[in-house]
């Protein structure tokens, strides 16, 4: 332990991830004063909220100084890439999150790919392009399916997994010619498509020391059965049983440790969360992307499972004192179902009133993401992902039942949520358990695998 724990902590951001972070920090026996900027309608009930936008570096720094904040925890990627941590550290305010140089691993997919390739960390081969013609030539050589990625930040929407060359060509033209993501798509990656199970590994890093948090899986696509466009994430669950202890050891050996060593070798003093998106391919685990913050909605299932004092963990990471930190994890399974506004990730209505249940089932939380109070004090929707309903239970199936009961009862005109969060794992474990009972014909087998929640 590094002296005493901070008596106040300012969380930057206003989404479901920040709501989950605030609840995790509030569980600390140190009982810190918790502040948040800008927060949302749910966070207001649990922290002192200040109406400062998460990308207003000067105002956030002034707020941290004015409120004599002893620790700042930065949630989203934008303030990280704009140098909020650099600004706070200049004022000697301990801050959890990487400086702009570390945040560049997320803010530039080209930079991340260059690091991955330079240090021989498993990742898909890719070409880097600024012009349409060479990108189209490369596409034709590699064939479909193929993945087109905008270099810069695009709120989880800058990746197109193209099933056909026509789709791939349209994505290249959208990004390079029509500048769909502005400066973020001035450069693109054209990357081989990896097939397999995807998993999210969140790692609390302090220079070369690190603690791997419980493994989770996210549902990125908007529609049931993993259909439709990619989103920021529509639901998560943890643990991810597909990542066995042996596989996690392999991921640590081949990906986590080499990544953290590579970042240090590049001269980056990284103290924050490294979130590694990994595809479990038949040839082994392969890196899809680095993010430099907690995942959203990964945080909403990972943090509730952590028994250790999160304030102590983040404080230790901030001070370069992570070595030897023993993480205690709750054995229950957690699931988070994201309630979105119908139309997301495209156009969707805003300002719809939400009515909540008067009581929640045990071990269930509603994390607010895109909510605010309107002039008459009602809670209304303000963005695409509105709420995250998290439930913990001894089995994933029980947790899913609890979370879905709550989702059904929340009332909101534009409510949309996926009906199959966790189904991949539920069907897999159910299949294993029921293997002998249902495997007498191929029809029965596929019926088992496709069993709904
Ligand atoms: P990224 O922001 O790079 O993680 O991409 C967003 C999502 O696109 C990932 O979570 C994957 O579902 C998908 N994706 C990215 N890269 C690939 C790839 N090389 N092969 C298949 N899917 C990918
Ligand atoms: N859920 C994926 C992300 O936070 O980027």
Residue nearest to atom 15 of ligand 1 (CA): 288
Q: Average of pLDDT values for 286-300?
A: 98
The predicted-structure confidence for 161-185, as pLDDT tens digits, reads as follows 999 999 999 999 999 998 999 888 8
> Would you state the pLDDT for residue 432?
42
> Would you state the pLDDT for residue 437?
35
The predicted-structure confidence for 83-113, as pLDDT tens digits, reads as follows 999 999 999 999 999 999 999 999 999 999 9
- Residue-by-residue DSSP string for 386-404: EEEEEEEESSHHHHHHHHH
Q: Largest alpha-carbon pair distance within the chain?
A: 69
- Ligand 1 contact via 198 beta carbon (within 6 Å): yes
Distance between Cα 217 and ligand 2 center (Å)? 10
Site to probe by mutation for ligand 2, drawn from 297, 340, 367 as the one with most ligand atoms within 8 Å of Cβ, is 297
> Would you state the pLDDT for residue 445?
34
> Would you state the pLDDT for residue 82?
98
Which atom of ligand 2 is least distant from the CA of 218? Answer: 1
Q: Residue 230: which pLDDT band, with cuts at 50, 70 and 90?
A: confident
pTM, full prediction: 0.93
The predicted-structure confidence for 174-227, as pLDDT tens digits, reads as follows 999 989 998 888 999 999 999 999 999 999 999 999 999 999 999 999 999 999
Residues of the chain above pLDDT 70, percent: 94
Q: Name the DSSP class of 324.
A: T
Q: Average of pLDDT values for 336-345?
A: 97
In the chain, what is the straight-line distance between the N-terminal and C-terminal CA atoms, in Å?
44
* pLDDT score of 309 more than 50: yes
Q: Average of pLDDT values for 269-275?
A: 98
- Ligand 1 contact via 289 beta carbon (within 6 Å): yes
Q: Average of pLDDT values for 133-146?
A: 96
Q: Are 83 and 100 in contact (CB under 8 A)?
A: yes
* pLDDT score of 246 more than 50: yes
> Would you state the pLDDT for residue 157?
78
- Ligand 1 contact via 121 beta carbon (within 6 Å): no
> Would you state the pLDDT for residue 441?
35
Q: What are phi and psi of 409, to 5 degrees?
A: -85, -15
Query: 12-26, 119-133, 152-166, 226-240: which range is least confident on average?
Result: 152-166
Interatomic CA distance for residues 432 and 417, integer angstroms: 28
Q: Average of pLDDT values for 112-124?
A: 98
> Would you state the pLDDT for residue 427?
85
- Ligand closest to 145 (CA) is 1
- Ligand 1 contact via 159 beta carbon (within 6 Å): yes
Question: Ligand 2: residues whose CB is within 6 Å?
Answer: 156, 218, 232-233, 291, 295-296, 298
Residue nearest to atom 12 of ligand 1 (CA): 220
Cα dihedral 210/211/215/219 (nearest 10): -50
For residue 350, the tally of other CB atoms under 10 A from its CB is: 14
* pLDDT score of 443 more than 90: no
- Ligand 1 contact via 126 beta carbon (within 6 Å): no
Q: Average of pLDDT values for 308-327?
A: 97
Which among 117, 141, 254, 142 is positioned nearest to 194, based on CA atoms? 142
Q: Are 167 and 160 in contact (CB under 8 A)?
A: yes
Query: 160-164, 302-306, 393-397: which range is least confident on average?
Result: 160-164
Residue nearest to atom 4 of ligand 2 (CA): 295
Q: Are 17 and 336 in contact (CB under 8 A)?
A: no
Site to probe by mutation for ligand 1, drawn from 288, 290, 295 as the one with most ligand atoms within 8 Å of Cβ, is 288
- Ligand closest to 157 (CA) is 1
Average pLDDT, the chain: 93
> Would you state the pLDDT for residue 2?
57
* pLDDT score of 42 more than 50: yes
> Number of helices and strands (H, E) in the chain?
16, 23
- Residue-by-residue DSSP string for 216-231: BEE--EEETTTEEEE-
> Would you state the pLDDT for residue 376?
96
Site to probe by mutation for ligand 2, drawn from 231, 296, 338, 418 as the one with most ligand atoms within 8 Å of Cβ, is 296
Q: Average of pLDDT values for 392-402?
A: 97
33: tokens are: 């004063």
Site to probe by mutation for ligand 1, drawn from 159, 190, 285, 293 as the one with most ligand atoms within 8 Å of Cβ, is 159
- Ligand closest to 13 (CA) is 2
Which atom of ligand 2 is least distant from the CA of 236? Answer: 1
Which atom of ligand 1 is least distant from the CA of 156? Answer: 2
* pLDDT score of 448 more than 50: no
Q: Residue 242: which pLDDT band, with cuts at 50, 70 and 90?
A: very high
> Would you state the pLDDT for residue 156?
72
Interatomic CA distance for residues 69 and 6, integer angstroms: 8
- Residue-by-residue DSSP string for 106-153: HH-HHHHHHHHHHTT--B--EEEESSHHHHHHHHHHH-SSEEEEESS-
The predicted-structure confidence for 349-380, as pLDDT tens digits, reads as follows 999 999 999 899 999 999 999 999 999 999 99
Distance between Cα 410 and ligand 1 center (Å)? 31
Q: Residue 428: which pLDDT band, with cuts at 50, 70 and 90?
A: confident
* pLDDT score of 285 more than 80: yes
Which atom of ligand 2 is least distant from the CA of 293? Answer: 4
Interatomic CA distance for residues 205 and 271, integer angstroms: 5
> Would you state the pLDDT for residue 9?
98
SS3 for 259-306, per residue? HHHHHHHCCCCCEEEEEEEEEEECCEEEEEEEECCCCCCCHHHHHHHE
- Ligand 1 contact via 191 beta carbon (within 6 Å): yes
- Ligand 1 contact via 5 beta carbon (within 6 Å): no
């Amino acid at each position: 332990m590094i002296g005493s724990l901070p008596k106040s902590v300012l969380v930057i951001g206003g989404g479901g991830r920040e709501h989950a972070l605030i609840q995790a920090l509030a569980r600390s026996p140190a009982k810190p004063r918790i502040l948040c900027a800008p927060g949302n309608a749910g966070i207001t009930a649990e922290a002192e909220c200040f109406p400062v936008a998460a990308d207003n570096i000067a105002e956030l720094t002034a707020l941290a100084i004015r409120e004599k904040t002893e620790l700042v925890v930065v949630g989203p990627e934008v303030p990280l890439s704009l140098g909020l941590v650099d600004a706070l550290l200049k004022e000697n305010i301990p801050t959890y999150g990487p400086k702009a140089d570390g945040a560049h691993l997320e803010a530039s997919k080209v930079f991340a790919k260059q690091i991955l390739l330079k240090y021989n960390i498993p990742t898909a081969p890719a070409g880097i392009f600024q012009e349409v013609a060479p990108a189209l030539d490369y596409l034709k050589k590699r064939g479909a399916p193929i993945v087109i990625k905008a270099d810069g930040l695009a709120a989880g929407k800058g990746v197109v997994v193209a099933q056909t060359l026509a789709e791939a060509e349209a994505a290249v033209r959208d990004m390079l010619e029509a500048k769909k993501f502005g400066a973020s798509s001035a450069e693109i990656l054209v990357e081989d498509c990896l097939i397999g199970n995807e998993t999210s590994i969140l790692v609390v890093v302090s220079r070369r020391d690190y603690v791997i948090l419980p493994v989770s899986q996210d549902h990125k696509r908007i529609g049931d059965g993993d259909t439709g466009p990619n989103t920021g994430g529509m639901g998560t669950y943890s643990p991810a049983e597909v990542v066995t202890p042996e596989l996690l050891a392999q991921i640590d050996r081949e990906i986590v440790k080499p990544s953290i060593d590579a970042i240090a070798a590049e001269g980056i003093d990284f103290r924050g969360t490294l979130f590694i998106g990994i595809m479990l391919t038949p040839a082994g685990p392969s890196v899809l992307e680095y993010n430099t913050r907690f995942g959203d909605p990964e945080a909403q299932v990972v943090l509730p499972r952590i028994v250790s004092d999160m304030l102590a963990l983040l404080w230790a990471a901030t001070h370069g004192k992570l070595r030897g930190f023993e993480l205690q994890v709750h054995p229950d399974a957690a699931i988070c179902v994201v309630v979105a506004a119908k139309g997301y990730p495209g156009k969707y209505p805003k300002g719809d009133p939400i009515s909540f249940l008067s009581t929640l089932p045990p071990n269930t939380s509603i994390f607010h993401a895109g909510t605010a109070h309107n002039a008459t004090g009602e809670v209304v929707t303000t963005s695409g992902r509105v709420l995250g309903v998290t439930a913990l239970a001894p089995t994933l199936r029980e947790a899913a039942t609890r979370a879905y009961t709550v989702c059904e009862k929340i009332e909101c005109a534009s409510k949309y949520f996926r009906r199959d969060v966790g189904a991949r794992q539920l069907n897999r474990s159910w299949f294993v358990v029921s293997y002998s009972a249902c495997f007498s014909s191929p029809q029965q087998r596929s019926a088992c695998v496709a069993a709904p929640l």
